[in-house]
Amino acid sequence: MNNIFIALDFENETLAWEFLNQFPEDVRPAVKIGMELFYREGPAFVEAVKAAGFTVFLDLKLYDIPNTVGHAVRNLARLDIDYLTIHTAGGVEMMQAAVAGAAEGAQSVGVQAPKLLGITQLTSFSEATMQATQLVEASMAESVTHLAKLADEAGLAGTISSAFESQMIHDATRAGFLSITPGIRLAGDAIGDQSRVVTPGRAHEMGADGIVVGRSITQAADPVAAYQQVVAEFTQGA
Ligand SMILES: O=c1ccn([C@@H]2O[C@H](COP(=O)(O)O)[C@@H](O)[C@H]2O)c(=O)[nH]1
């Protein structure tokens, strides 16, 4: 399934490959490579995962001035990745620089530009924590919808939020704008540091176009079975 991303939150590539090698060759889940693994193993690991046939979502959550983000995205797009995250909080100009950088970098090596996804409000934030941290009175719904509209205006492919906001994002953006949602747990699994959490089936019902699942799969006694359960629940609804 290309819209169910397993978060490869492992310390190094040996552990990541041990995990991936449990999947039969005809099952190639989409994978999300985040800061932990990228900062250790770098672009070579991304290229190896892509070469092994996996859809690659690079989750680096870029956030800087427009010139810096645009040039960073231009380099990352040369890796032939499928998705890349940037922060919507960097503003429209920063996001537009990222869109331009993605097109330039991909074109320079003859690959497809990655779909850019804007981080809205992290799924680890509750409404109260967000308001206190950012010194705002806006509700979670208002904030996420506002940031999704900015991302849409800047030309991003979609946003990252919790599934609680998926429907309002769809209502506020153009048709086809993606709502991809982490903060997913199989029933009974520990929530840990997440706040806005739903099951795969509920995420589907709430309008998520795709989900990111880490520990409910990677920490499961049988990760392949857990992945299959996630796929079944997300495909069929709760
Ligand atoms: O708002 C966000 C943005 C990104 N993430 C990332 O998704 C996974 C979730 O892992 P779990 O183990 O399923 O909690 C992780 O890589 C985060 O960096 C997010 O959780 N929330």
Task: Please give the Cα distance from 195 to 211 (Å, whole number).
Answer: 16
Q: What is the pLDDT of residues 175-203, one digit of tens each?
A: 999 999 999 999 999 999 999 999 999 99
- The answer to whether 222 is annotated as binding is no
- Mean pLDDT within 56-63: 98
Task: Please give the Cα distance from 78 to 200 (Å, whole number).
Answer: 32
Residue 165 pLDDT > 80: yes
Q: What is the pLDDT of residues 117-130, one digit of tens each?
A: 999 999 999 999 99
Substitution site in 36, 117, 123, 211 for ligand 1 pocket (most atoms within 8 Å of beta carbon): 123
pTM for the structure as a whole? 0.98
Domain boundaries, the chain: 4-236
- The answer to whether 21 is annotated as binding is no
Q: Which residue is catalytic, options 26, 50, 64, 193?
A: 64
Q: What is the pLDDT of residues 77-109, one digit of tens each?
A: 999 999 999 999 999 999 999 999 999 999 999
pLDDT band at 237 (very low <50, low <70, confident <90, very high): confident
pLDDT for 1 equals 64
Is 149 designated active site?
no
- 3.40.50.10210, 2.40.50.100, 3.20.20.70, 3.40.50.720: which CATH number matches 4-236? 3.20.20.70
